[in-house]
Amino acid sequence: MQVSATRCGRRAQAVARPERARRLPMRRAPRHNAIQAVTVTLVAMLMTIPSIRAAEEVFNYDESEVRRYTLPDPLAGPDGAPAAAPEAWRTIARPHQRALVEANVYGRGLPAVPVHVVGDVERADVTLAGDVAATRLQARLRLGAAEDAPTTDVLLYLPRGARAVACFLCLNFRGNQAQHPDPGIRLASGWIPDDPKAGIADNRSTEASRGGTAQRWPVETMLGRGFGMATAYSGDTFPDRRDGRAASALASLGRPVAGDIPADEPGAIATWAWQLSRILDWLVTLPEIDETKVAVVGHSRLGKAALFAGALDERFAMVVSNESGCGGAALSRRNYGESVKRITSVFPHWFCPAFATFAGRETELPCDQHTLLALVAPRPLYVASAVDDRWADPRGEFLAAVAAEPAWKLFGRRGLGTAEWPAPDAPVGDTIGYHVRSGPHELLAYDWERFADHADRHLRGRAAPEPDGYPAFAPVQHPLPVPPPSGAIVLVGPDAATTAGAAFTSMAGGPIDWRGEHDTLVVAPSKQHANHIVSKALFRDADIHAEFMVSPEAKGNSGLYLHGHYEMQIYDSCGVAPVTDQDEGSLYRFAKPIVNAALPAGEWQVYDIRFTAPRRDPSGAIVRPGRVTAWLNGRMVQNGLTFTEPRSPYTPYKHGVTEHLRAIERRLVATGEGPLFLQDHGSPTRYRNVWIKPLGR
C-alpha cells in the first residue's frame, strides 16, 4: 500500500481535497460565464455520459433570475386541509408529509434491526490537546441479527467522569481516524474514495490519513462545553459511489440492489439515515449519555442524511444541517446553484429514483425541502450555510427554514421569528436557528459553537456562553501573497525594509538590523539566538497572517511569538513523522500540529492564526484560558487549542530580556495587550506579507 509523500521525499500528509472541491468553480463563476462551462465540462468528462449531459446545464447565481414559485403547504393532510392543532399534525398531516418526502425524494425509511456490540467496547482515558481530560470509547456494532449483517465502527469521546451528557452524533467522509489525530483511533477498514493526498491509498485508510479532516470535528472545544461527540464512517453502510448499492446494507434488509429499482426505493442518504438511528440505539444504552439529549449533525451530503434521520426518528432531540444544499435544506423550486438534474445525474445513488424524474420540473414536486424541515417540529432545528457556498444556495436554505416555521407555531413555539436573511456571522432564530458563516463550504469550529449554543438553550435549558462576537475564522491561503484585509496593520509590506523598519523595534527598543530584500525581510541571526524583532503595534486578540520561507540552515528555526509568550513554531519539518510539539504547526510546548502541513525549505509557506489572549484578574492570575486556531498551508494545524501560562523557557521576557521588554510585559499584564515577535533562532528565515488584524475594537 502506497503512502503519500511530499516533494521533500519523506512521508507526510499533503493538502487534503475537500469532498466538494470540484464544485467550487461553479460556485464562484457568474452566470453564463464561459470559464464555468469549460470547467464543468472538463470535470464531467471524468464522469459517465449522464454526467456530461448534466454539465451542459447552465447554473444560475443571479437572484433576479430565480423563477417565481409556490410552495406546498407543509401542514396539509391527504385532503389538502392544513392541520390546525398538534394532534392533527401528529396523526394526520405529519404521516402524510413524511410519505411525500419518502416517495419523491429519499425513498422509504428502512426498518429498525437488532444492534449488537461485536467483541468488547474499548474504553480508554486520554488527555487531548489543551490538557482536555476525556474518555474515548470505540465499538463495532453489528446492525442486524445475521452473522453477515453490516457493521459500523463508532468513535465516542466523553468528558472524563461524565454522566448523562448531551451528545452530538455525526457521520464522516473518510473514516474515524480522519476526524482526529488521536493515534489510538482505529483505522477504517472499508472502502473509501481514493485520495492519496489525504492519506487514502488504494481506497484504504493509512496512517497518513489521521486527522486529515479534524477541522470538522473540534472535539476538545465541545468536550470543554460538556458535550459528548460521536461519529462513524458513512461508507460502513453505503459506499459513496454509483455502484455502492451492491456493497451496501440494503441487501441485508431485503432491498433490491440490482436490476430495475422501484421508484421509491431508498438510496445512500436513506441508508446513512438508518445508520444514524442504529448508532442511536446503542448510544442510549450508555449511562454516560442522556438518551433524551442526542443531537444529529451532518455536513454537505451527510447533512441531507442528518435531516432525513431527524425527520424519521423523533428520538433525535435536535437536528442540525450544515450546508446540505440541494436535496437537503435548500428549496428545490429555486433555480439557484445546484439543481435536481445535476445532483441526480452525478450522484444517482443518493436518492430514490423518483427524485430524478423531477429534474427540470421541480415546481411539480408534491413536497419541497421545507417539508423535510417541518418534520423535525416541535424539536429544535438548526440550519447553517456559508457565504461562499453559492452552490448550496444559502438563501434557499434560509427560506426553507422560514417556510417550515408554521409547524412550530402549531405547538406555540417560535421558529426563526424573522423572514429577513441575516448578515454573515450573525445567528438568528429561536427553536429554529440559522446562520450564514463567512467563508467556504466547510464545517468549522464557528459552526459547532453555534450548534452548541442552540443545544444549551433548547436541550440543556441554560444560557449559552457569551460569544466573542468575532467573525468566523476561515482564512484564504491561496494564491500567495494574500492581500491584507481592511483594518489590518501591515508589519512587512511590499517594501519590506521600510515597512518593517517602521513597524518593529529591536529587543532593546531601537532600530532593527534585519535585512530587507524588496518584499522580503530576512532574519539576522545572532549567536545568542535572541535578535528577535518586536512589533510596535499591540493587540489583545487578533488574526495574524505571516508568509515565510525556511532555510536549511539551522533547520529553518524561527517562530511567531504571540504576545512574546506563546510560539507558533516555524521549523524545517517537511515529511517528519511523527510530529512533536517542536515541529512546524505546533504551539511550542503546548500541542503538536494536528497534521504535518509543512512544505520543503525554499518554498513560501503561510500561517493564519486566530489568537484569543488569556484573561487575567487584577492580580495577574489567568481566569480564562487563551485559545488559538491556526491554519498552515491550507490545512488546520490547531483547532481552538486552549492554553494558560507560558511553558517555553526561551520566551523573550526570559531570554535576552531588556528594559524595553520589561516595560512591554508590565503593560501586557496590566492591559492584556502585547506585541508580535518574529523570532531569531539562528536561521536566516525569510518573511513577507506579515499583518495583524486586531479583533474586538
- Dump the DSSP string for 571-636: ---TT-SS--TTSTT-BTTTB--SS--PPPTTS-EEEEEEEEPPEE-TTS-EEE-EEEEEEETTEE
Grid cell locating 392: 448550496
Q: What are phi and psi of 106, to 5 degrees?
A: -105, -20
Closest CA to 221 of 435, 448, 426, 384: 448
**Rounded Cα gap, residues 53 and 346, in angstroms:** 10
CA dist 512 and 139 (Å) reads: 58
Whether the predicted pLDDT of 236 surpasses 60: yes
634: Cβ contacts below 8 Å, ≥ 6 apart: 15, 477, 478, 597
Mean pLDDT score of the chain: 92
C-alpha separations of 26 from 48, 358, 391, 475, 524 in Å: 19, 22, 7, 20, 46
How large a percentage of the chain has pLDDT more than 90? 89
How far is it, in rounded angstroms, from Cα 514 to Cα 506?
Answer: 9
Kind of pairing between the strands at 428-429 and 605-612 = unpaired
pLDDT score of 620: 87
User: What is the identity of the amino acid at 585?
Assistant: G
- Structure confidence by residue, pLDDT tens digits, 462-521: 999 998 999 999 999 999 999 999 999 999 999 999 999 999 999 999 999 999 999 999
Q: Among positive and negative, which fits the CA dihedral 234, 239, 242, 243?
A: negative
Condensed to tens digits (0 to 9), the pLDDT of residues 243-254 reads 999 999 999 999
Q: Is the pLDDT of residue 433 over 90?
A: yes
pLDDT tens-digit series, residues 629-648: 999 999 999 999 999 999 99
Distance separating alpha carbons of residues 104 and 366, to the nearest angstrom? 8
Is the pLDDT at 19 greater than 60, yes or no?
no
Is residue 441 part of the annotated active site? The answer reads yes
Show the domains of the chain with their CATH numbers: 102-458 (3.40.50.1820), 489-695 (2.60.120.560)
Quote the pLDDT of residue 33.
37
**pLDDT (0 to 100) of residue 286:** 98
101 pLDDT above the threshold of 60? yes
Of 418, 438, 538, 440, the closest CA to residue 489 belongs to: 538
Residue 508 cell numbers, joined: 532593546
Residue 4 binned pLDDT confidence (cut-offs 50, 70, 90): very low
Task: Look up 300 and say whether it is catalytic.
Answer: yes
Q: Give the pLDDT of residue 437.
A: 98
Place of cell 451528545: 167
pLDDT per residue as tens digits for the range 657-672? 899 999 999 999 899 9
Q: Which of 441, 458, 532, 565 is catalytic?
A: 441
> Looking at the predicted structure, is the pLDDT value of residue 650 above 90?
no
Q: Mean pLDDT throughout 130-155?
A: 96
pLDDT-derived band of residue 8, with 50, 70 and 90 as boundaries? low
Beta bridge partners of 319: 296, 381
Polymer length of the chain: 697
Residue 530, Cβ density class (10 Å: 0-12 exposed, 13-18 middle, ≥19 buried): middle
pLDDT tens digit sequence for 288-338: 999 999 999 999 999 999 999 999 999 999 999 999 999 999 999 999 999
In this structure, are residues 80 and 411 in contact, taking their beta carbons and an 8 Å threshold?
no
Model confidence pLDDT, tens digit, residues 505-543: 999 999 999 999 999 999 999 999 999 999 999 999 999
| Rounded average pLDDT over 156-160 | 98
Check residue 21 and give its pLDDT: 33
Provide the pLDDT for residue 148: 83
What pTM was computed for the model? 0.91
pLDDT in tens, 26-73: 333 333 333 333 333 333 333 333 333 444 789 999 999 999 999 999
Q: What is the pLDDT of residue 146?
A: 85
Q: What mean pLDDT do residues 144-164 have?
A: 95
Q: Which residue out of 4, 300, 339, 558 is catalytically annotated?
A: 300
Using omega within 30 degrees of 0 as the cis cutoff, is the peptide bond preceding 378 cis?
yes
Residue 259 has pLDDT above 70, yes or no: yes
